[in-house]
Structure 1
């Protein structure tokens, strides 16, 4: 039987379409949606990109990863709720935004728990007793998520309107902006400061008018909100290491075969290490920009003196906030 050239072309086109369809099906065997709340450049988005690349390559195309940054899928509390249903698969964010669902995360807002981001990673990273503890907390709280990794993603530092900070004594008598948090108020009162509760959106005006004379924040927050215009004295106290969590929906996790679970877990762990390095780089670059482009006066106080003031208060705060188990674990 003779097959016409047109028939051969039609057959070839059909086979090609089937091949492409099969490839598409393989690629879409699993689709994972990753949420972050932040805009780039930011360590969380770098971590998401790293996870995407590693998961897609290691799975041989069986998994497609889609990243939704800048809060496209909603604010963190709503996203945590969605993850319980499996409609969002993975989130990378700060632990402080999950305190409502996981109160134990409140321990990470305590100043000087860690001396550096590297130390934070050593204490809370995958494979540590702290990580295992919070894995269990997730289960006990029934949040519908599995913890993949905890890590560090930047420092919080002090800035003031008029005073250059070099030692704890320089803080005495200053009106210190705090959020509505007992831990924050008691922390800064220990230095002889006068805590003043001010919302973040009102902070610029509060310092400009003298309602507050000092504040603390992440370096991206300080820069992005142009707070250097009203509080141009930056002290790199690094009193808080921001701890982030990478979590996956339990619904999603339970649907994945064991080999893909291992791939996702490994990708989260390697991205966690990358996040710390990126955070250190971003902080250093922002300090340079603040000095060279915005005329900010930067000091680097001896953190030991600040730690000594707060050491007795840490145990008291942990007991008051029912976080003694977490505090003890972190101090081991």
Structure 2
């Protein structure tokens, strides 16, 4: 009887300890990338920092590899309250807010990181985030984090200049400006969600894709036949953090502050981390047979000239406010 009493006491103690250390609030997050992806790896560090700074009161429950939603569905899911938080690419929000496709416009072709950050972290970025919040009824948690500059990959055609893309079926993540860019380059863009890319490559649905070194490495797409790549710095890919207003309203003010402040404090280091991961991924892809080329300045300048010629018509077609474009140009000096 004494032994049974000890067991019962220990069990009760374990239950009490579990209740003591259980988080008071949980934020569910959806990602469609693999656990090794730079976004997933960093978000787990962010989640740990939030848990520590909140004294264990707030935790993030992360659903990876499209276990809940693909990124193309994520913004709508947050807006509907089906998931608390998502971090989709800007261009995947453009069907709700056309200006969200801004980084894929020709004017961003070839820009450096500092020029891009001056736009997204300043008044123009604030204006865009306010449009997103008002349209979707969500809250933008803070500044965007990076995946990195896009890279074009191919299974059969060695890519050395942008003109080599002519005629290729190229996977794009979404966003009408990206689609238009490839059409203007003479390629055939095909919008495919990231989890479906390996099969699309293996079945020949696409022979090329626009992604990043990091994404290709994390998915081991050399196993799906990818052999060549070209770094023409068409555009940067960034993720914008969206959180359900309902989920945010449930948090006490101090925990809301922990969430927002921790995000902002970690963004700059994440961007550097993402850039480092892209270089390491390029090296890893090379080790697995993917040959990457860097087009010369003349080839890039010629393609930029071609793309910029169609930007005014593209902006009108996409329904982007021309004044918004002017404000971007004033920041970048274009």
Q: TM-score when scaled to structure 1?
A: 0.77
CA distance 1:174–1:82, shift in 2 (3 Å): closer
CA distance 1:32–1:186, shift in 2 (3 Å): closer
Answering whether residue 333 of structure 2 is matched by residue 329 of structure 1, we say no
Contact preservation (8 Å) 1:165, 1:299: yes
CA distance 1:45–1:307, shift in 2 (3 Å): same
Q: How many residues align?
A: 313
Contact preservation (8 Å) 1:123, 1:130: yes
> Aligned-pair distance for 1:237?
0.5
Contact preservation (8 Å) 1:37, 1:93: no
Which of 199, 206, 231 is matched with 1:236 structurally?
Answer: 231
| Stretches (4+) displaced over 6 A | 8-15, 227-231
Secondary structure in 1 aligned to 2:36?
A: coil
> Aligned-pair distance for 1:204?
5.7
Which of 126, 133, 138 is matched with 1:132 structurally?
Answer: 126
Secondary structure in 2 aligned to 1:70?
A: coil
Contact preservation (8 Å) 2:214, 2:282: no
| 1:255 counterpart residue number | 250
Secondary structure in 2 aligned to 1:152?
A: strand
**Any stretches of 5+ residues in structure 2 without a counterpart?**
none
Contact preservation (8 Å) 1:117, 1:276: no
CA distance 1:281–1:111, shift in 2 (3 Å): farther
Per-residue CA distance 1:134-164 (angstroms, 9 max, x = gap): 33212331x2310013232122123454455
Q: In structure 2, how many angstroms separate the alpha carbons of the residues matched to 1:103 and 1:297?
A: 33
| 1:196 counterpart residue number | 188
Answering whether residue 46 of structure 2 is matched by residue 51 of structure 1, we say yes
Contact preservation (8 Å) 1:110, 1:183: yes
**Any stretches of 5+ residues in structure 1 without a counterpart?**
none
> Aligned-pair distance for 1:231?
6.3
CA distance 1:105–1:159, shift in 2 (3 Å): same
* Structure with the greater alpha carbon radius of gyration: 1
Range with bigger deviation, 179-188 or 257-266: 179-188
| 1:156 counterpart residue number | 150
| 1:107 counterpart residue number | 102
Answering whether residue 169 of structure 2 is matched by residue 174 of structure 1, we say no
Range with bigger deviation, 13-22 or 84-93: 13-22
Q: In structure 2, how many angstroms separate the alpha carbons of the residues matched to 1:187 and 1:79?
A: 24
> Aligned-pair distance for 1:185?
5.6
> Aligned-pair distance for 1:17?
6.6
Q: In structure 2, how many angstroms separate the alpha carbons of the residues matched to 1:259 and 1:203?
A: 47
CA distance 1:270–1:118, shift in 2 (3 Å): farther
CA distance 1:279–1:182, shift in 2 (3 Å): same
Q: In structure 1, how many angstroms separate the alpha carbons of the residues matched to 2:50 and 2:25?
A: 11
Which of 62, 66, 83 is matched with 1:67 structurally?
Answer: 62
Contact preservation (8 Å) 2:158, 2:229: no
Which of 309, 313, 320 is matched with 2:310 structurally?
Answer: 313
CA distance 1:177–1:82, shift in 2 (3 Å): closer
